[in-house]
Amino acid sequence: MTTSAELIDVIERRSAHNYHPLPVVIREADGAWVTDVEGRRFLDCLSGYSSLNFGHGNPKIIQAAQQQLQNLTLTSRAFYHDQFAAFCGGLGDLTGKDMILPMNTGAEAVETAIKVARKWGYEVKGVEPEQATIIVMEDNFHGRTTTIVSFSTDPDAHDGFGPYTPGFKIVKYGSIEAIREAIDANTVAVLLEPIQGEAGVLVPPDGYLTQVRELCTAEGILMIADEIQSGLGRTGRTFACEHEGVVPDMYVLGKALGGGVVPVSAVAADADVLGVIKPGQHGSTFGGNPLACAVGNAVIEILNTGEYQERAARLGEVLHGRLREMVGDGVVTVRGRGLWAGVDIDPSLATGREVSEALMERGVLAKDTHGSTIRLAPPIVISEEDLLWAVDRLAEAIASFRR
Ligand SMILES: Cc1ncc(COP(=O)(O)O)c(C=O)c1O
């Protein structure tokens, strides 16, 4: 048998070092648990950055994928296929929007939203050609394309990849005044994450999303919510915007839409917005393919029951209640909503990376983000017992750095 160490050795020599993984080689998984090549089990508290909201190997999703693999996997959008109507209708109903534009990865869906907003700006709002600007947030994370990293404020994501795409104004997240000041005649949209995941699960001040909605409506510009990581049950609601009863003009969805099986992303908006895209102006060979749609349809059916949203809300209370008790005990602050938490570790004790490694040794997989923050986002299928066990392991891991 090839060992983890042998596999890691090959991977480190033969793959680009664009990630810094924890030293674990996973072979199989079920629900909230994964097993490595040596047979060691770990509780997954990352969920593929919220792609596995419904658990590893979710039976309904796997069954839909298996059935579709046998029927039809790809047509390209040159033809229609029998899974597409249910996907667009189902996701349209879930989001309350008229239309869906399917893509594959999250970054592609964000790119789609940017293109749609610009085109809408020129054709509907009447912005001068080539002048459209989109207001974006400091510490955003929307993906890795050259356009998206052009407006990233993270030096790792941004620096060294110019020349950069113009047309973005970066403002402070959480400040409605900053958006107000940035708006001018060329502004077509505000693009934000309702909770900033990669930045460390940053929840904006209460009322902020409502204010953004009201301002966008008053100014006649589009509110675009990137719910790729925050959406589809993670925060205890279908969409994180719902916590403030806010409906954006465009939802950008990805990750969990593919059930942890295939990349599925989409933009959802009404016909007066998405209708600006005409044949030949945007697309992707694999976007909206039959396998992706069959998996997406299973995900939509799961979300329509409301079961996972309710479970994330209930378990989120348990998680945050327990994490709050740790504040002052090696933990500086805890943020988040539902089954999603950013835990700031006392930087004088250890880095986030060191705590992630100590957690791994104790059977829990979680990843640091930005210095001393640990992000917890277990699959929503996790049991309450396992969840509390994971938090106990976190307390233990942090305590291990006290001398
Ligand atoms: C909010 C948000 N938008 C976009 C993306 C990019 O998605 P992908 O990695 O599928 O391109 C991510 C990925 O982490 C994300 O969290």
Expressed in angstroms and rounded, the spacing between residue 143 Cα and the centre of ligand 1 is 5
Could you identify the atom of ligand 1 that is nearest to the CA of residue 227? Answer: 1
Task: Note the pTM of the prediction, 2 decimals.
Answer: 0.98
Contacts of 204 (CB under 8 A, 6+ apart): 173, 174, 194, 195
pLDDT at position 390, please?
98
pLDDT value, residue 323: 98
Tell me what pLDDT residue 95 has.
Answer: 98
> Is the CB of 211 within 6 Å of ligand 1?
no
Is any atom of ligand 1 closer than 6 Å to the C-beta of 107? yes
Q: Cα 44–47–49 angle (5° rounding)?
A: 135
Please give the pLDDT value at position 103: 98
Q: Is 141 in the pocket of ligand 1 (CB under 6 A)?
A: yes
Q: Is 193 in the pocket of ligand 1 (CB under 6 A)?
A: yes
Mean pLDDT, the chain, integer: 97
Q: For residues 159-198, b (16+ Cβ closer than 10 Å) or e, as one string?
A: eeeeeeeebbbbbebbbbebbeebbeebbbbbbbbbbbbb
Give the confidence band of 403 by pLDDT, cuts at 50, 70, 90: confident
371: pLDDT confidence band, cut at 50, 70 and 90? Answer: confident
At a CB cut-off of 8 Å and minimum separation 6, what does 225 contact? 192, 193, 194, 239, 240, 241, 246, 248, 250, 251, 252
Residue 108 CA: nearest ligand 1 atom is 11
* Residue with tokens 């994450």, as numbered in its chain: 193
- Model confidence at 197: pLDDT above 90: yes
Q: How many CB atoms lie within 10 A of CB 239?
A: 24
Q: Hey, what are 211's tokens?
A: 């204010």
106 lines ligand 1 (CB under 6 A): yes
Q: Which two tokens stand for residue 181?
A: 């000041």
pLDDT in tens, 22-65: 999 999 999 999 999 999 999 999 999 999 999 999 999 999 99
How far, in Å, CA of 37 to CA of 28, rounded? 8
Name the residue with tokens 């106990």.
392
DSSP assignment, residue 240?
G
**Cβ contacts of residue 177 below 8 Å, gap of 6+?**
none
**CA separation, residue 123 to residues 89, 273, 302, 342 (Å):** 26, 10, 37, 41
Identity at 154, one-letter amino acid code: D
Cβ of 340 closer than 6 Å to ligand 1, yes or no, is: no
> Which ligand 1 atom is the nearest neighbour of the CA of 226?
1
Give pLDDT, residue 180. Answer: 98
Residue 109 Cα to ligand 1 middle (Å): 9
Cα 136 to Cα 164: distance, rounded to the nearest angstrom:
15
Task: Report pLDDT for 370.
Answer: 82
Best residue for ligand 1 mutational test, from 114, 137, 142 (most atoms within 8 Å of Cβ): 142
Is residue 17 predicted with pLDDT exceeding 80? yes
Q: Of 185, 168, 312, 164, give the one whose Cα is nearest residue 237.
A: 312
Encode pLDDT of 116-151 as tens digits.
999 999 999 999 999 999 999 999 999 999 999 999
> Rounded to an integer, what distance in angstroms lies between the CA atom of residue 22 and that of residue 260?
20
- Ligand 1 pocket check: which of 19, 141, 252 to mutate, most ligand atoms within 8 Å of Cβ? 141
Tokens of 42: 């770990």
CA 287 vs. chain centroid, Å, equals 18
pLDDT band at 317 (very low <50, low <70, confident <90, very high): very high
Instruction: Please list the active-site residues.
Output: 141, 226, 255
Give the tens place of pLDDT for each residue, 216-236.
999 999 999 999 999 999 999
Residue 18 predicted with pLDDT over 90: yes
Query: 179 in ligand 1 pocket by Cβ < 6 Å?
Result: no
Asked if 96 contacts 90 with a C-beta cutoff of 8 angstroms, the reply is: no
How many Å lie between the centroid of ligand 1 and the Cα of residue 372?
A: 21
What is the rounded CA–CA span in Å between residue 110 and residue 101?
Answer: 11
> Does residue 388 have a pLDDT over 80?
yes
The tally of CA atoms less than 13 A away on the side-chain side of residue 106 is 22
The percent of residues above 90 in pLDDT, for the chain, comes to 99
Using one digit for the tens of pLDDT, what is the confidence trace for 154-193? 999 999 999 999 999 999 999 999 999 999 999 999 999 9
Strands (E), 155-238: 168-171, 187-192, 222-226
